[in-house]
Amino acid sequence: MRDLLVSAAFELFTEYGYDGTTIDDIVHRAGVGRRSFFRYFPTKEEVVFPDHERALAEMIGFLEEGAQDPDPVGRACAAARLVMRMYAEKAEFSVKRYALTRKVPALKTHETSVVRRYERALASYLRRRFATLQDGELRACTIAASVVAAHNYGLRAWLSSGAGGDASIVVDQALDLVHRTWGDKAETMIMVARTDTPAWQIIQQLNTLREGGTGYRFA
């Protein structure tokens, strides 16, 4: 039923334009009642983005599974690739939606709100992972925004080309840049101390550096 409504909607959008198509037109073309439409889509805008709820749920689940991943930035980038896969699985539909969204301001606004939900999910995951760092909040929000921007850059390049070639190539390049920029850059620190320095004093100094979020890795 969901696919039937989406197919009918896009046929009408092509024939009469988005603004020239009503929900009544869509259900009439699909041969169903209005109640069936609202069972799946609360608004006409939602019928243009039928797959994002599932993609967002999959991404959140993937992030939750990576709660102990030693590379949280890499995990966030991999989560964005899941969303890219959703677009690639229905390339023709993705291109049609991209063209329609570029023409209709209301859809562009709705798309922005959808993208923001992905960014919030990424930031929430990274915020938990960076909770012990002094700049954890800033780092989480900045990296989440970077991941989304990189994904969208690659996605739009692919859609602008008519979905020609491998969808993941440009996205991977952009996300790899984010990973290299924000990934684990911890440095190994060699501490020099007198042989008679008490062990508790060395540990105390190391803990002070760790709590200060210096970025050093301690073995």
pLDDT of 164: 85
State the CB neighbour count (10 A cutoff) for residue 149: 14
Report field, pTM of the whole predicted structure over 0.85: no
pLDDT in tens, 156-188: 999 999 998 888 898 999 999 999 999 865 444
The 8-class DSSP code of residue 166 comes to -
How many Å apart are CA 8 and CA 31, to the nearest integer?
A: 9
CA distance linking residue 70 with residue 149, whole number of Å: 23
* Residue 208, pLDDT above cutoff 90: no
Q: Identify the residue with better confidence: 219 or 185.
A: 185
Alpha-carbon 217 to chain mean position? 29
